[in-house]
Amino acid sequence: MCGIVGYIGKKEAWPILIKGLERLEYRGYDSAGIALMNDRAFFVCKKKGKVVELSKFIKNLNKEEIKKNLSGKIGIAHTRWATHGIPSDSNAHPHLSNDGTIAIVHNGIIENYLSIKKILINKGYKFKSDTDTEVLANLIEDVKKHAKVSIDEAVRLALNEVNGAYAILVISKEEPDTMVIAKLGSPVVIGVGKNEFFIASDATPIIEHTKKVIYLEDGEMAVINNKNKKFNLKIKTITDKTVKIPYIHQLKIKIEELEKGGFPHFMLKEIFEQPESLRNTMRGRIVLEKGNVKFGGLEKFKKELENLNHLTIVGMGTARFAGLIGEYAIEELSGIRTKVEYGSEFTYRDVATPYRAGLIAISQSGETADTLNAIKKAKRDKMLTLGVVNVIGSTIAREVDAGIYNHIGPETAVASTKASTSQVLLLIMLAIYLGRMRGNLSKNKSQEILKEIEKLPALVEIILKNSKHIKQLAKKYKKSENFFFLGRKYNTGAAMEGALKLKECSYIHAEGCNSAELKHGPISLIDKDFPSLVIAPIDSMYEKNKSHIQEIKARGGIVIALTTEGNKELNNIADDVIYIPKTLEILTPILAFVPMQLLAYYISVERGNDVDKPRNLAKSVTVE
């Protein structure tokens, strides 16, 4: 978790760092801080709260103070999602070592920090924070003093003593022209400018400065220093092996893709982008004449895919719910037995690996630690690993054997919207791809689904045009304290995603549940103040869903029915009805997602919440 940014070059560092932190706030936003190297002295400023608190403080400094404190061409900065220690000024990064010579920012967790802390306390070190990062700062100081080595060597030796995950940036007053960067398990990207370097947890803070980037690999560290007015970059491993400067990637994201584009929130912008994002997800991949789907990234593994005997889908949060829908689609269309698991659980469970098994890891960010660890375990178990990932070049995208990108551009709001519909679509397309290659799906049937898939962007457009209706419903239901989201078959996963959207943005307690399961316990919660949104399109489950609606109404509950356009029957039974256009049953979750996203968004706005950055959350969770 957390976002880190660094700059070393010829410009004033602080505006670059603050802007960078704003871009990385999706990674955590409970405190932020900055450290600038200013003529062999550090200016450090840390504030509890969002990055705006830090930038307000800085902008309120008078000109003299800015000149005195903020001039510095080397700096590091951090936006935090608390793991060790509450959100506070003192727990915010950067952390200084005891003698004040070393400043560090860190994304990750040092697992053995307590035992190291004990040793350091015995040596006389004092700690101002509860963080694992401050322990690392002091460990580096201690190693440096005792081994009498340069800062990069001290960092390297110290990292050999720690277990856990990290992406760190370190600067030292004693070597004021140097920055040390190291990575294990948490992401870091180095932007290569003209005699300047931009470092960040992902490419979004870098893009406006340079398109050339280097991705450090796990166990590698980079040292940037100034020799004869020229900044040099060297890469080595934590075990001290020199690494050839790796391939420099060319970024393709546009800066406009990162801005709100006239919408009040990123979440709303991203909801409204879905016709386009679905189009981009399917672009160039549908071969209608052949009733087939093309995935360039999977070509190399055709043989293995043809022979697959079992699939496990892993993901967390929204990604796992997309997986639940994918499970139905893959089993139905390809005939491959499929199971969905939390990445976090798959990693630690001791289960036999089925013969010729594959793993599909779903992740918008491509950085979720729980999902990444599941891939590592699958690789140890000799499973074929596939990724459904949005962020190009992210850790998961690079870790899997083969992958499919969403191609939907950056998703910024913490609550996932356009990534979720794209994930479901890709899983259905993957199910078609597998079904066709294994002879489980006829050309005709496949063409029928693909034709309907091609209509999805236009159908989502229709739902978005009716967003005013959802806005009204939001006003009506904004005071609810509880909510059920119910559905069956494909829409069981959709119900869970609907509940997640509402709870994460509006802080209303919401449960997603299979509608048939309701009568086996949860129904006892129903009363006149407990609304249920029932996903009941006209499909193979419609009659059953209608009965579930009746069961809720018979107990005095409130029902919002989400059904197919033209179905008037539910008007007399449900309290409110939301319509989605007619489509194939397998595609209904994609359409059902959209009004549920809008409902969560508008209710959250009504309740005055910070929709794009809900409390306690972060978009990319790089800790276990």
Nearer to ligand G6P, 159 or 316 (CB): 316
Nearest distance from residue 409's CB to ligand G6P, in Å?
14
Q: Please pick, from the candidates 589, 619, 623, 624, the single residue that binds ligand G6P as defined by CB under 6 A.
A: 619
| DSSP three-state, residue 257 | helix
Q: Which of 496, 611, 621, 623 binds ligand G6P (CB under 6 A)?
A: 621
| Residues 6+ away with beta carbon under 8 Å from 394 | 187, 202, 363, 365, 366, 367
**Site map 358..387 versus ligand G6P, x via CB under 6 A:** -----xxx--x--x----------------
Q: Which is nearer to ligand G6P, 364 or 588 (CB)?
A: 364
Residues 301-360 that bind ligand G6P (CB under 6 A): 316-319
Q: Considering the complex, what minimum distance in angstroms separates the CB of residue 509 from ligand G6P?
A: 17
Residues 415, 419, 425, 431, Cα dihedral to 10° = -100
Give the residue with the Cβ less far from ligand G6P, 390 or 545.
390
The two beta strands, 310-315 and 357-363, are: parallel
The answer for 262, left when phi > 0, alpha when psi is -120 to 50, beta otherwise, is: left
The answer to whether 297 touches 389, Cβ cutoff 8 Å, is no
Q: Which residue in the list 48, 73, 503, 619 is annotated as catalytic?
A: 619
What number of chain residues touch ligand G6P (CB under 6 A)?
15
Candidate ranges 298-306, 434-442, 548-556, 616-624; the one touching ligand G6P (CB under 6 A): 616-624
Please identify which of the residues 2, 45, 505, 513 carries the catalytic annotation.
Answer: 2
Give the 3-state secondary structure of 561-599. EEEECCCCHHHHCCCEEEEECCCCHHHHHHHHHHHHHHH
Q: Please identify which residue in 620, 622, 623, 624 interacts with ligand G6P, judged by CB under 6 A.
A: 620
Residue 619 appears among annotated catalytic residues: yes
Bridge partner list, 289: none
Instruction: Report how far residue 617's alpha carbon sits from residue 624's, in angstroms, rounded to the nearest whole number.
Output: 14
Residue 25 has what DSSP assignment?
G
> For ligand G6P, which is the closer residue by CB, 23 or 144?
23
Q: Which is nearer to ligand G6P, 101 or 412 (CB)?
A: 412
In the bound complex, what is the minimum distance in angstroms from residue 415's beta carbon to ligand G6P? 6
Nearer to ligand G6P, 26 or 579 (CB): 26
Listed in sequence order, the residues at least 6 apart from 79 whose beta carbon sits closer than 8 Å to its beta carbon are 2, 3, 21, 24, 25, 27, 28, 29, 31, 32, 51
Kindly identify the residues of this chain, within the stretch 254-273, that bind ligand G6P according to CB under 6 A. Answer: none
Instruction: Find the binding residues for ligand G6P in span 407-446 (CB under 6 A).
Output: 414, 416
Q: How far is CA 564 from CA 381, 388, 424, in A?
A: 44, 29, 19
Q: Is the dihedral of CA 92, 98, 99, 103 positive or negative?
A: negative
Least Å distance, CB 385 to ligand G6P, is 15
Should residue 92 be labelled a site residue for ligand G6P when binding is judged by CB under 6 A? no
- Residue 603: other Cβ atoms inside 10 A: 28
* Least distance CB 408 / ligand G6P (angstroms): 12
Between 80 and 156, CB nearer to ligand G6P: 80
Q: Which is nearer to ligand G6P, 101 or 395 (CB)?
A: 395
**Which one-letter DSSP state was computed for residue 100?**
S
Is 505 considered catalytic here? no
| Shortest separation between residue 300's beta carbon and ligand G6P, angstroms | 24
> CA 243 → CA 233, 355, 424, distances in Å?
11, 38, 39
**Shortest CB 423 distance to ligand G6P, Å:** 8
Q: Which DSSP string corresponds to 38-73?
A: ETTEEEEEEEES-HHHHHHHHHTS-HHHHHHHS--S
Q: What is the dihedral of CA 318, 321, 322, 326, to 10 degrees?
A: 160
Shortest spacing between CB 367 and ligand G6P, in angstroms: 6
| Residue closest to ligand G6P when measured from CB atoms | 317
Q: Which residues are catalytic?
A: 2, 619
* Binding interface with ligand G6P (CB under 6 A): 316-319, 363-365, 368, 371, 414, 416, 617, 619-621
